[in-house]
Chain A
Amino acid sequence: MYQIVRAPLLGAVLSMCWSGTLFAQEPLDVAIVAPNAIGDVGWDHEVVRGKEVLEERFADKINVTVVDSVGEGPNAARAMNRLVANGTDVLILGSFGHMSDGMALAKKSPDLKVLHIGGYQNLPNFATFTVRHYQASYLCGMAAGYATKNQQLGVVAAFPLPEVLGILNAYVLGARSVNPDLKPVKVVWLNSWYDPPRDRSSAESLISQGADVVYSLFPGTPSALATAEEKGVYAVTTLSDNSAHAPNKHLCAGQANFGVVYANVVQSVIDGTFEGKDTFAGVAEGAIEVAGLSKDLTDEQRAAILAKQDAMRDGSFDPFTGPVMNNAGSEAIASGKTLNTSEIKSMDFLVQGIDSRLQN
């Protein structure tokens, strides 16, 4: 008899202990889901690096769990469900493709708070945020405008999506603001977030066209940077300071800091003021800044770049302030007008000075 009941009894006791620890816990459980394996730079690195910011700010008030290599698809739903079943209070989703699974889960679990990076749909317990990458891109554009000798910039860009167009436009506006002699900027669209060999070949192709500053705009690998270093031309990048991959030729990077936004959201959960809203965080919030500026820039040039960053921080300067012409020759932003958030997020033109056309 004892033998028959022993196993269930043991199980019951164990599960009581387990739920006991769950109820006893004070700290908030935060889980971060990253779509790919974690490198030392790039998207997933930045998604996960927010953990440090959280731990520093909230110390033992929270527990942060990280799950990586959870791409879009059935695996994502499974991983999220397991995290929630294990008691996660705040779920941070690091891939655009996590949107539908995250929404479904948020509807099912009203107590759960979700923070989704890059999405555009909200629920009362489902918040989103995007970083104003274009701000740092404008500043790196200034650096590129200063550094180019051939007056030829080249850009390896992922997809012609509104967000990417905004970053590209800001870069060219920044470059032309300090260097009016620039030749039209050349762009290669990878039509992929991720393809290292094509990334590298694109950079080589731009260099063969005379580009002496190559901007790696969102491809998920440092291939273009390594190529630039190898060929002796400057490299500019998004998301992370890549100086380690191009020690001599790293010109500028837009360093994202997702942790700032995570921390604000976690604070709002602790305070009970969480809202399912969208945040567009930039230099002012500390979510993005220039980093890894090359030592080849003169002190005046570096000061000019940082002054512009300060102007963005206090709101006295915005890259998308008219008059701005598009590259078809008509006016894209009227004189005196500044684009608002939704206009930036739905950008559908290329500014003057870009040698590429959008296909519709």
Chain B
Amino acid sequence: MTDTIIFVLAGAFATATPLLLAAIGEAVAEKAGVMNLSVEGMMAFAAAVAFAVTYQTGNIVLGFGLAVGASVALSLVFSILVLGFSANQIVSGLAVGILGLGLSSLAGRSFENLTMMAPANLSLPVLSDLPLVGPILFRQSAITYFAFAVAFLTWWFLAKTRHGRITKVVGEDPAIAHNLGFAVIRIRLFAIIFGAVMSGLGGAYASTILTPGWSDGLIAGRGWIAVALVVFGTWRPLRIAFGAYLFGALLLGDLAVQAMGFSVPPQIMTSLPYVMTIIVLAAVSRNALLIRLNAPVSLGQNFQPSK
């Protein structure tokens, strides 16, 4: 029983990590007023590149680096469309996302169904050996700690720093931000690139640490869950972190419940995370003030500075 509790509570951190990374990146892009729906494609491409490079060279750092590069390259295509040509953000995001999925199949083609050993998780002298708390909190991958740290730093950046506030102004009303003398396009570009870096890390984590292996379709909708998590957390990083953890636990709870032999219809358990999303989204949407206070007003709208 204890083992199963540890499995769910500890596993939830690992399962939540790629969701959290991608969602935080998307939240920052959306806070700057850019809806980037290519998260799924960026994660998939990064995952394929990360696995291919790590498998070939045995160097996971290089794998992560090139994966982030691949993801950023995709986001630059998106940026040119959206920031350069004022193309519709939703359509451009979907198109680049599909491109990313295609590129992931291409990059992973000769690595189909290969696996490798994951690098060992962190092990701290005393803390990791504590009962219950040790395996749950102190035996995770370094990337997991990094993801939760980034969530906290993003909260701090958006809420407490001057640059964070400028980013939010750009997302609220780019015209005013422009008139105040801020480079709207450049700030949005940085926000998109930050999102791509995070998605890239999330994808790389998925294919090298969470499920060390590559098969076409590995990301399997996790990019879309990340996009939903942003709304779930009403664009607030700490809530997103909580949502990601909850999602991770629910995704695993299903498997744990089945393995324990309870006769809950598995379809119900499998759909629980998604049902939860709908309920929370409905609840959040009912609270108009919450949305108005947190949703970037110009989300999805392009801005072209007129001289």
Contact = CB atoms under 8 A, between A and B. Distances in A.
Interface of A: 36-42, 45, 69, 154, 184, 186-189, 191, 194-202, 204-206, 208-211, 220-223, 225-226, 230, 245, 355-357, 359
Given A195-B220, A196-B218, A205 B213 contact: no
Q: By CB atoms of chain A within 10 A, which of B11, B109, B211 has the most?
A: B211
Interface in B151-170: none
B289 interface: no
B267 A359 contact: yes
B272 to A, nearest CB: 13
19 contacts: A36-B216, A37-B216, A39-B215, A191-B266, A197-B206, A201-B251, A201-B252, A208-B4, A208-B6, A209-B259, A210-B3, A220-B113, A220-B215, A221-B113, A222-B115, A223-B115, A356-B261, A357-B263, A359-B263
A205 B252 contact: yes
B216 A197 contact: no
Given A191-B266, A359-B265, A197 B220 contact: yes
Contacts of A220: 113, 215
A40 B114 contact: yes
Contacts of A184: 261
B242 to A, nearest CB: 21
B105 A37 contact: yes
B7 A205 contact: yes
B258 A188 contact: yes
Interface of B: 3-4, 6-7, 11, 15, 105, 108-109, 112-118, 206, 210-213, 215-218, 220, 222, 251-252, 255-256, 258-261, 263, 265-267, 270
Contacts of B218: 196-197
Contacts of B115: 222-223, 225-226, 245
A208 B213 contact: no
A201 B105 contact: no
Given A37-B109, A189-B266, A197-B210, 5 more contacts: A188-B259, A191-B266, A208-B6, A220-B113, A221-B215
The 9 A-B pairs at the shortest CB distance, nearest first, are namely A39-B113, A208-B7, A39-B112, A226-B115, A355-B261, A208-B3, A205-B255, A37-B112, A205-B259
Contacts of A356: 258, 261, 263
B108 to A, nearest CB: 8
B50 to A, nearest CB: 14
A187 B222 CA distance: 25
B15 A197 contact: yes
Nearest to B260: A209
Contact of A201 (B15, B109, B113, B266): B15
Contacts of B108: 37
A200 B211 contact: yes
